[in-house]
Amino acid sequence: MTALQKEAFEHHKKIVNKYVKYGVYSEEKVPKYWATLKKCTRS
C-alpha cells in the first residue's frame, strides 16, 4: 500500500468509526465495507 493509499484508508477508518458511533452504519455492515475498501486499496 502506498503512503497515499494508507492515508486514504486511515481517513475512511475515521469516518466509518464516526458513523458506527452515531448509528449511521450498523456494526455488521462495516466489515463488508472494510472488505471492499481493502480490495480498493490493495496495491
| Three-state SS annotation for the chain | CCHHHHHHHHHHHHHHHHHHHCCCCCCCHHHHHHHHHHHHHCC
Q: Domain coordinates of the chain in residue numbers?
A: 3-41
Residue 43 has pLDDT above 70, yes or no: no
Percent of the chain residues past pLDDT 70, beyond the cut: 72
**Is 10 within 8 Å of 34 (Cβ atoms)?**
no
CA distance 11 to 25: 16
Tally the C-alpha atoms within 13 A of residue 8's C-alpha that lie toward its C-beta. Answer: 11
The answer to whether the pTM exceeds 0.75 is: no
